[in-house]
Structure 1
Amino acid sequence: MADTHSNAGAIWALGMTQIIGYGTLYYSFSILAPGIAIDLGVAVEWIYGCISLALLAGGLISPWAGGLADRLGAGRVMSAGSIGAAAALAVCGLASSTTAFLAGMVLVELASAFVLYSTAFAFLAQTTGTRAQPSITYLTLIAGFASTIFWPLTTWLLQTMDWQQVYLLFAGLNLVVCLPLHLWLSRFARIVAARPIETVAAKTPMIVDNGDLVFILIVLGFSLAGFVSAATLFHMVPMLGVLGLGTVGVWVASLLGPAQVASRLINMGFGQDLPATVLAVVSAITMPLALGTLALSAPSTAGAILFAIIFGLGSGLFSIVSGTLPLAIFGKAGFGKRMGWIGMGRLGLSSLAPFALSVALGAIGPKPSLWILAVAGLMCVAVFGDVWRRCRPIGQKVAAVNQPTDAVHRQG
């Protein structure tokens, strides 16, 4: 019972750091970007170009950050990342030129590789034993409030502060709140490491048709999902405004967080026995469905609300799948580095998204841009559908292409 309570405390502490991490390093950007562009005297597309370059840098460092989490422990990596995140946000807050702001954004994404979901999931895989997969679901349930809190909060702060002061405040949050929590989590991980090794039998393994190809498909699937998600989330509030929602857009967008939380609650209640491969397909389907709904219904407020709810449901499930799918198929060995490679693919393609959609919105308008994103979402559905086809629990019939030498990957 004591172990259960201590694990719950660790998940809550980690959830708090994820709310602040995603809120300050990710969700706040789209609210701050227009003011940054005005003050620095550049087009807003240039500001989104900065985040695109920064996402690329974050993707390139992700495998290294994941490898460090495997070798040194994810808690230590996140502690160092908190200091880096605070420093990066401070650089953004002190930036008085476009070059300085670009440098700050690159540092923000480099720090993100050490403190956000990839490393947090590795921490749970290292510390929660056979409870790793449900622990990931609990964490994403808590962290799902990041957008709900930080989109309105950032908007409210801009009424009394400029964007530079907001960045400095966010730097302080990472230093004063996240760093102590990550240091405590690092200590918690050392205590867990000293416990006797679990002797509980492993869960049912999966039979995988061509494990290397499946991993490539997983990276591709999450890369496509990351592209659609990044393009949509970075532009959600201004795009809803362009579509005719005006200031209502920020409150419609804030429904994303509750929808994410709702999807995780539904998954906890009814989807615990659903294979991660199936959940990946279900998650992918929501993206083109949501984007198509918005494109067909705009400027209807009801349609925008439905879009935000559907997209939020899918986004919430994807947060779970991004950790549970590789864990279910490949197990805990090298989990941090696998998450790093997935992060590199996801962020590499996502790095194109903010700038590409910013240009597309100006060149062809919001509705054609939404249909392009929907097509990318359909491609994601096809990729995860193939992963589902190639991976089956023991006892289920596998596709006829399987050979006797197919690898069997057991969970940790």
Structure 2
Amino acid sequence: MLLVADILMISTLRLLSKIRSEKEQLNLVGWLSVSQLIGWGTFYYAFTLFNTPLAKEYGWTSSEINMALTIGFISWAVAAPFVGNALEWLGGSKVMSIGSMMGVFAFLLWAGSSSLSLLYGSWILMGIAMACSLYEPAFYVLTQAFPDQYKKVITWLTLAGGFASTIFIPLTDFLIQTVGWQKSLLLLAAFNVFIALPIHIWKLPAGKAKESTNRKQKLLDFGLFTEEPFKPLTFWGLNLWFIIFNSIATGITFLFIPLLSEVGTDKSLLIISYSLIGPMQVLGRFALIWLGGKLQTLKLGTLTVFMASLGIGCAALFPKSLLALLLFSLLFGTSKGIMTIIKGTAVAEQMDLSVYGRTNGWLSLSSMLFKALTPTIVAAWWTYSGDPVKILYSIAGMVLLALAGIMMIKKDQ
């Protein structure tokens, strides 16, 4: 009887511990999901809706206005290694709070921008805000809080974040139509002041890496590359993989409709196909929850590379077919959604958690720089070649180069 009682007591304690752990996970992921919805919705997705109002107000061209986005991406890239280091010695709460405040200052400067220099200045601040407050810092918070279950909680977070455009694009459009573009920017700033900032200050753990309090801190720490947990071949493999995949995904996202419009694809088909990419990203994340982490990250990464290549190839081979375009949306969208999660889990899985923040920061530097330049490079390539279909075929083949990065990681294991 005593043995049975002991077994029941141990089982009960384990169950209570599991319930408590899941409650903590849901609580932290819930608060982070709200702040990510606001961050992605206001900092990132809302930009495109302000193009027309700015052009009407000041007579700026579309290329002049969109240069602000490129500047923002470059600013994000340059800030990323500094942010990665800061996460390890300040903790996620402080860094993400700084991000929210920087975003508010950016909106205030943007709302008062009467010249391109002020607009570009606001997007330098916005790039820093995005580096401090979007997925990479959020992933850091989750991997430190739940080192044994980071895959599950990161998947949950990205699932919620996938609805940022669904919520904030129509909301921002409504605000612009109702109160004008300048007041809309102030209202977007208010979301960050009154919701995101309090979450980052009071609802996130202030945890730090264990060794961070025992070493002299630097603004930018190059010591990462000589530390024992650091694996150079794995780092460069991750770099190659992320650069190729994310650059091509960005190029397709921004130039898919213009490229296929050039070959005479019906615009309604393009709109249907393009609008399905977002839901397919969410579908991919749901699939990961259903699989429950059964697939290893590298195997999953290989699958996403082939899916993206096949999807782009379908669009290139049959650019006027609805079925081919729907296959493109399914394969490309799903792979893009899964890849967002892989970016958070692959670093934690393949590198030591003690260097997660700094590693992610350096990876984001190169990835974001190429992401900023890719639309311009693809557009120039299009102008030079004059054949959109050949460009799509080439891109479908280039995605496969990401497999070389995965092979480098496998070799280092």
TM-score, reference length from structure 1: 0.81
Distance 1:148-1:367 versus aligned 2 partners, 3 A rule: farther
- Of residues 152, 162, 168 in structure 2, which corresponds to 1:150? 168
Q: Distance in 2 between matches of 1:298 and 1:305?
A: 11
- Are the structure 2 counterparts of residues 260 and 338 from structure 1 closer, same or farther at C-alpha, using a change threshold of 3 Å? same
Q: How far did residue 223 of structure 1 move?
A: 1.4
Could you report, residue by residue, the CA deviation over 1:200-227 in whole angstroms, capped at 9, with x for unpaired residues? xxxxxxxxxx931221121121112221
Separation in 1, partners of 2:391, 2:165: 23
Partner of 2:312: 291
Amino acid at match of 2:234: V
1:47 equivalent among 59, 65, 75: 65
- 1:344 is aligned to 365
Q: TM-score with structure 2 length normalisation?
A: 0.81
Aligned AA (2:130): S
Cα distance, 1:48–1:69 mapped onto 2, change above 3 Å: same
2:128 corresponds to which of 110, 127, 134? 110
- The change in CA–CA distance for 1:330 and 1:149 in structure 2 (over 3 A counts) is same
* TM-superposed deviation, 1:40: 3.8
The change in CA–CA distance for 1:366 and 1:166 in structure 2 (over 3 A counts) is farther
Unaligned runs of 5+ in 1: 194-209, 393-412
How many angstroms does 1:171 deviate by?
2.0
Q: Does 1:139 align with 2:157?
A: yes
Residues in 1 aligned to 2:324 and 2:261: alpha-carbon distance in whole angstroms: 14
Q: Distance in 2 between matches of 1:372 and 1:91?
A: 41
Report deviation, 1:343.
Answer: 0.6
Q: Does 1:71 align with 2:71?
A: no
Contact 2:319 2:325 in 1 (8 A): yes
CA contact (8 A) 2:51 2:65 kept: yes
- Contact 2:88 / 2:208 at 8 angstroms: preserved in 1? no
Q: Which AA in structure 2 matches 1:253?
A: Y
Match of 1:6 among 24, 33, 58: 24
Q: Secondary structure at the match of 2:400?
A: helix
Flag the 1:95–1:216 CA change in 2: closer, same or farther, 3 A: same
1:126-182 deviation digits (Å, cap 9, x = unpaired): 112312222112211221222333344445555445544443332222222211211
Q: Does 1:309 align with 2:327?
A: no
The structure richer in helix per residue is 2
Identity of aligned residues (%): 27
Say which of 342, 345, 349 aligns to 1:328.
Answer: 349
- The residue aligned with 1:216 is 236
SS in 2 for 1:86: helix
Q: How many residues align?
A: 374
Alpha-carbon spacing, 1:305–1:90, altered in 2? closer, same or farther (3 Å): farther
Q: CA deviation at 1:239?
A: 6.1
Q: 1:231 aligns with which of 251, 268, 275?
A: 251
Superposed CA deviations along residues 93-146 of structure 1, whole A, max 9, x for unmatched, are 332221111111221111111001110110011112312222112211221222
**Could you tell me which amino acid in structure 2 is paired with residue 324 of structure 1?**
T
- Alignment RMSD, CA only? 2.9
Partner of 2:193: 175
Letter of the 1:83 counterpart? M
Contact 1:147 / 1:254 at 8 angstroms: preserved in 2? no
Q: Distance in 2 between matches of 1:354 and 1:262?
A: 26
The equivalent of 2:221 in structure 1 is: none
